[in-house]
Amino acid sequence: MVQTEHEPRTALRIILAKPRGFCAGVVRAIEVVERALERAQAPVYVRHEIVHNRHVVERLRKKGAVFVEELSEIPTGALTIFSAHGVARSVQDEARDRELPVIDATCPLVTKVHVQGRRYAKSGRTLVLIGHEGHPEVIGTMGQVDGPIHLVSTVADVAALPLATNTPIAYITQTTLSVDDTRAIIAALAERFSDMVGPDVSEICYATQNRQTAVRELAPHCDLLIVVGARNSSNSNRLREIGVEMGVPSYLVDDGSGVDPAWLTDVKTVGITAGASAPDALVESVIAALGRLRSIEVTQLDGVEENIEFSQPPELRHEEAFPLAAPLAAQRT
């Protein structure tokens, strides 16, 4: 039963996952846009949402960032930023051909996957990418490797691969996958292919791993799990799925306005986490929304302390290096 204003407000315990929210790659990407806006005259053009969060994008838009999906939408000579998800080589080539000055905010962990993929392909192995079709990171990674690359999202996809079992293969992974699903897919690949190499599943991005582990620890303590994050945020969706797998009703909300009072029926404890692209202010807005419905007590589970930081792209490290010329050739690995 949903409480009305006239009924006594029963206490609601809120437990926050740790870690949650922004990862180092997202912090870096947002800083790239902010610094570029400070140091170049607006507008600054960003190809794709810099990170998958509407609130972040809106805030940057107000400061002068213009978000586009294609380089053709960017005027000649305008400062261009590639999002944290990475881009295909064709996009880099197009930017170079048009002599657009570019700052690449691709997360260094995504770049690491690109480098791995190119190395494996160069060694003559057939490349398999574990990831979700259509996700910008997957499109970018597939476009960073010369030669064919097979995309698998499920164990069933592995069985359907049109490859002989003695094909020498190598796999790489999208950074924001479910760690458990990825482990199962790698096991299926290992079972089917006798000659396989690839990174250990523990090499999936640290932030993805830590947030998923934190939800696994949080879920048994909760009657309800709220994940703060955007619908198109891959890692946020995975967090919600883990809650569901663990038998806890789990919902993904953009912010406090997404909280449905009906969810709280018979609920004594709510767990809250946030995807890697969700700012802390949105978690606060969810807590505030719950506080308007019940009297709340907020605690946080112990978890991993993250202190990873990524340095800024070279164009933004030194004041004198700005404004920049098209730097893409130098960035290629």
State the residues that interact with ligand SF4 by CB under 6 A. Answer: 23-26, 84, 107, 109-110, 175-176, 205, 207-208, 235, 276
Write down the least CB distance from residue 299 to ligand SF4, Å.
Answer: 26
Backbone φ and ψ of 276, nearest 5° = -65, -15
Contact between residue 178 and residue 154 where contact means Cβ atoms under 8 Å apart = no
Write down the least CB distance from residue 176 to ligand SF4, Å.
Answer: 5
Backbone φ and ψ of 176, nearest 5° = -115, 30
SS3 label, residue 186: helix
How many angstroms separate the CA atoms of 237 and 241, rounded?
6
Report residue 12 as tokens: 């609601």
Write down the least CB distance from residue 146 to ligand SF4, Å.
Answer: 23
Task: Return the residue nearest ligand SF4 (CB atom).
Answer: 25
**Within 13 Å and on the Cβ side, how many CA atoms surround 4?**
1
Write down the least CB distance from residue 98 to ligand SF4, Å.
Answer: 26
Catalytic residue positions, numbered: 137
How many angstroms separate the CA atoms of 223 and 267, rounded?
6
Write down the least CB distance from residue 206 to ligand SF4, Å.
Answer: 7
User: Among residues 264 and 282, whose Cβ is nearest to ligand SF4?
Assistant: 282
User: Among residues 167 and 213, whose Cβ is nearest to ligand SF4?
Assistant: 213
User: Among residues 35 and 52, whose Cβ is nearest to ligand SF4?
Assistant: 52
181 CA to centre of own chain? 17
**Helix or strand (DSSP H, E) at 218:** helix 206-218
For 232-278, the DSSP string reads T-HHHHHHHHHHHHTT--EEEESSGGG--GGGGTT--EEEEEE-TT-
